[in-house]
Amino acid sequence: KGEKELVGRGVSYCVDCDANFFRGLDVVVVGNESAAATGAITLLGYAKQVHLVCRELRISDLLYDQLKKSDVKVMHDVWVKKIVGSDEVEEVLLTNGESLKVDGIFVELGAKGAMELAANLGVIFDAETFSFIETNKKQETNIPGLYAAGDITGQPWQIAKAVGEGCVAGLEAAGYAKKLADS
Name the pTM for this structure: 0.64
So what's the pLDDT on residue 45? 92
Instruction: Specify the CATH class of 4-107 in words.
Output: alpha beta
Give SS3 for 159. helix
DSSP states of 66-109? HHHHSS-EEE-S--EEEEE-SSS--EEEETTS-EEE-SEEEE--
Per the DSSP assignment, residues forming a β-bridge with 44 are: none
So what's the pLDDT on residue 111? 53
Cis preceding-peptide flag for 156 (omega within 30 of 0): yes
Domain boundaries, the chain: 4-107, 123-182
So what's the pLDDT on residue 98? 96
So what's the pLDDT on residue 118? 80
Q: What is the pLDDT along the chain (183 residues), one digit of tens a residue?
A: 678 888 889 999 888 889 999 999 999 999 998 889 989 999 999 999 999 999 999 888 888 999 999 999 999 999 999 999 999 999 999 999 999 999 999 998 865 566 767 877 889 888 776 678 999 999 999 999 999 999 889 888 789 999 999 999 999 999 999 999 998
Give backbone dihedrals phi and psi of 77, rounded to 5 degrees, phi first. Answer: 55, 40
Domain 123-182 has CATH 3.40.50.720: no
167-182 burial: b if 16+ Cβ within 10 Å, else e: ebbeebbeebeeeeee
How far is CA 178 from each of CA 82, 127, 147, 171, rounded to the nearest angstrom?
54, 32, 15, 11
Q: In the chain, what is the straight-line distance between the N-terminal and C-terminal CA atoms, in Å?
A: 59
So what's the pLDDT on residue 91? 95
